[in-house]
Structure 1
Amino acid sequence: MRNTTKKATVRLSDIAKETGYSLSTVSKALNGRADVSEETRQTINAVLKRYGYSRKATGAKSQRIIEIVFQDFDNVWALEVLRGAIREAKLHDLNVITTEGGNRQHPDSSWIDNMLRRQTDGAILVFSSLTRIERNKLHSRGIPFVLFDPFGNPDPDTLSVQADNWTGGVIATRHLLALGHTRIGIITGPEEMMCSKARLDGYTSALAEHGIEADPELITEGDFTTSGGYAQSISLLKRPNRPTAIFAGSDLQAMGVYEAARQLGLRIPEDLSVVGFDDVQTAAFLGPALTTVRQPLQDMARAAVRMLVEALSTDVIQPHIIMPTSLVVRNSTQQLEG
């Protein structure tokens, strides 16, 4: 009688647990790295064989490749990330390719199979939340990955890099409060995203420091796009008791605020102060130049590349990096008169 028992998916962590070696050592043995002793390689290979483990195709690659998976690549935010990644990759003789697709939570289902076919050495996943099957596929092929600005709280053993979004929300709101504004509107990103929640929490915390309770009428949810920022700011600014300042959850949304203010005959900063978030290259060239919270996107991307390099070459890796945010004061905010 034929045995129809389905073989369970095996992960590198299973091999590491059984052999007593680290994930990095198992991955290096699997990929034929020279810095693994023959005894270690034989021990690991014996367990791999017993599990029926599939190793990568052994065709020689002349170049090492890392892949950046974006939800989309149609704005300057993504360009900043790519610029930083390419600059760091050059230092490590790595090539960078990009994948685009899916929605704001997850790329389309084809990305991972295409990545495996290309024999990618490592991946940076932007705004991605991985399924269990996808995690298993990456682990089983020994492909390290870093979540960039993760959608939710990353697992303890998942590499990630992000900005200090809570502090960014605090310093943006404190700046406006110091200028005398108390009716401060906020346009968040998608409410289910961790960075959006953290920036909103920073906003409400700064208000609480001044004894101000957050007004639900001044809190709107955007989608980090210019069109979303425009739509939400129109809603805020047409209210009878409109805000005197708006904290936009991204510079792209702040651009939408500028257009809404123009259409409504409001001057920035005389009638409305505006603070953005990200400090993309175009922020300094808006009219007036945008006051914003600097999220060091290029530095974050460079850190993500270095994490991949470390994951491919060493057992000592800092799994989570949170990079500082800072306020860049330009001309879109001023003291509230009267």
Structure 2
Amino acid sequence: MTVTLADVAARAQVSPATVSRVLNGNYPVAASTRERVLKAVDELDYVLNGPASSLAAATSDLVGILVNDIADPFFGIMASAIQSEIGGPGGRAGGERLAVVCNTGGSPDRELTYLTLLQRQRAAAVVLTGGAVEDAPHAAAVSAKLRKLADAGTRVVLCGRPPAPDTRAIALAFDNQGGARRLTEHLIALGHRRLGYIAGPEERTTTRHRLEGHREALAAAGIEDDPRRTVYGRYDRRSGHEGTLELLRRDPSLTAVVAANDSVALGACAALRESGLRIPEDVSVAGFDDLPFSVDTVPALTTVRLPLAEAGARAGRIAMGREEPPAGEVAHVPGELMVRGSTGAPREAAGA
């Protein structure tokens, strides 16, 4: 049975005219109303201008790139690389594609809203970047949405995001766990036994995987995973600054701080200097991602390099059908340990 605009209006408890305004985007509508209408569109699987079957193979020249925070260099680098591969030779009819960067701000609801909008626009491709939210209802909703996109002819690529089984999405998944394990192993090999860890948001897959790698290295070395030595925050400098001060308050004898990413590590370095501590003579600091500024810090930051630009470009080519998907539609992308001046032997090991 064909879903009508009136059906959507009834589900959203608004007038058909309001539904039309939201779908056509030609009249201001309150944000809460707009969200309600889009939710009804999604739940009823409503397709503009006719039944879904007539549009099953139709796609537009639009490509959506979803990021958690466009101000974060991690996402900016990937989005730029993805966009650079969109359009030009090999595109549909040899034409250009319009890339739209959708900044979710880390909001699960916004992520679903953007996927709904891209489905309604019959996007040629959708690339989701970064970690996923670990919430069962949200994960189920995202998987359902990805399946609907694929069924409508949209190519879905996950870049730096864990695979999504049974969605036909192609995944380029970063080895966050393995990279974090090697990073902590490096610090342990230098002689560190009292390591503080500043994690990202608890609900993110990236946070869990990197923390699991850190804990694996501690366990292999017989080092107790003291819960006092782990704090959580955002993937930003402020969280690194505040998290380091909290770790020092809990345990002033820490000899190393492992940060969730390089931006967090910058904040950690600032907090240590404000506390009168030298890097790495008093406390070593390590980050993750190897963002462009990492090599220019003083001292240069030890970190794990993720090939953000390379992975983004590959995701863009796959999304445009210019490169074959990996075997099994999943590629595990390793990180590379970059040892620099911000890590060294702890004071006692150095004989200080």
The TM-score with structure 1 as length reference comes to: 0.75
Matched, 1:166 2:177: yes
Separation in structure 2 between the aligned mates of residue 184 and residue 314 of structure 1, nearest angstrom: 42
Across the aligned residues of Structure 1 and Structure 2, the Cα RMSD in angstroms comes to: 2.9
Per the TM alignment, residue 116 of structure 1 is displaced from its structure 2 partner at its CA by 3.9
Q: Which residue identity lines up with residue 332 of structure 2 in the other structure?
A: I
| Equivalent position of 2:15 in the other structure | none
Instruction: Map Cα deviations across residues 235-274 of structure 1 (whole Å, 9 max, x no partner).
Output: 0022344311011111111111012112211111111100
Distance change >3 Å, CA 242–CA 6, structure 1 → 2: farther
| Equivalent position of 2:69 in the other structure | 72
Q: Which residue identity lines up with residue 271 of structure 1 in the other structure?
A: D
| Equivalent position of 1:84 in the other structure | 81
Separation in structure 2 between the aligned mates of residue 318 and residue 266 of structure 1, nearest angstrom: 49
Matched, 1:145 2:156: yes
The partner residue of 2:318 within 279, 293, 307 is: 307
Per the TM alignment, residue 71 of structure 1 is displaced from its structure 2 partner at its CA by 2.3
Instruction: Map Cα deviations across residues 54-108 of structure 1 (whole Å, 9 max, x no partner).
Output: 317979x7xx442211122112111211232134336755543311135254535
1:135-284 alignment, distance < 5 Å:
135-150=146-161, 154-156=164-166, 157-284=168-295
Q: Which residue identity lines up with residue 180 of structure 1 in the other structure?
A: G
| Equivalent position of 1:53 in the other structure | 53
Secondary structure class of the residue paired with 2:171: strand
Q: Say whether the 8 Å CA contact 1:68–1:124 is kept in structure 2.
A: yes
State how many pairs are aligned: 286
The partner residue of 1:331 within 341, 345, 350 is: 341
Separation in structure 2 between the aligned mates of residue 92 and residue 266 of structure 1, nearest angstrom: 55
Per the TM alignment, residue 172 of structure 1 is displaced from its structure 2 partner at its CA by 0.5
Q: Which residue identity lines up with residue 189 of structure 1 in the other structure?
A: G
Instruction: Map Cα deviations across residues 96-128 of structure 1 (whole Å, 9 max, x no partner).
Output: 331113525453554234324544210101245
Separation in structure 1 between the aligned mates of residue 343 and residue 324 of structure 2, nearest angstrom: 47
Separation in structure 1 between the aligned mates of residue 105 and residue 183 of structure 2, nearest angstrom: 31
| Equivalent position of 2:42 in the other structure | none
| Equivalent position of 1:12 in the other structure | none
Separation in structure 2 between the aligned mates of residue 275 and residue 91 of structure 1, nearest angstrom: 42
Separation in structure 2 between the aligned mates of residue 297 and residue 91 of structure 1, nearest angstrom: 23
| Equivalent position of 1:97 in the other structure | 100
Separation in structure 2 between the aligned mates of residue 315 and residue 233 of structure 1, nearest angstrom: 41
The partner residue of 2:299 within 262, 269, 288 is: 288
Q: Say whether the 8 Å CA contact 2:256–2:285 is kept in structure 1.
A: yes
Distance change >3 Å, CA 259–CA 316, structure 1 → 2: closer
Separation in structure 2 between the aligned mates of residue 303 and residue 250 of structure 1, nearest angstrom: 23
Q: Say whether the 8 Å CA contact 1:69–1:107 is kept in structure 2.
A: no
Per the TM alignment, residue 337 of structure 1 is displaced from its structure 2 partner at its CA by 2.4
Q: Say whether the 8 Å CA contact 1:229–1:257 is kept in structure 2.
A: yes
Q: Say whether the 8 Å CA contact 1:268–1:332 is kept in structure 2.
A: yes
Give the % identical residues: 29
Unmatched 5+ residue regions in structure 1?
A: 8-50
Unmatched 5+ residue regions in structure 2?
A: 4-50, 133-138
User: Which one has the bigger helix percentage?
Assistant: 2
Q: Say whether the 8 Å CA contact 1:289–1:331 is kept in structure 2.
A: yes
Distance change >3 Å, CA 71–CA 259, structure 1 → 2: same
Q: Say whether the 8 Å CA contact 1:71–1:106 is kept in structure 2.
A: no
Q: Say whether the 8 Å CA contact 2:302–2:338 is kept in structure 1.
A: yes
Separation in structure 1 between the aligned mates of residue 328 and residue 232 of structure 2, nearest angstrom: 33
Distance change >3 Å, CA 219–CA 315, structure 1 → 2: closer
Q: Say whether the 8 Å CA contact 1:70–1:98 is kept in structure 2.
A: yes
Per the TM alignment, residue 315 of structure 1 is displaced from its structure 2 partner at its CA by 9.0
Per the TM alignment, residue 318 of structure 1 is displaced from its structure 2 partner at its CA by 4.0
Q: Say whether the 8 Å CA contact 1:71–1:107 is kept in structure 2.
A: no
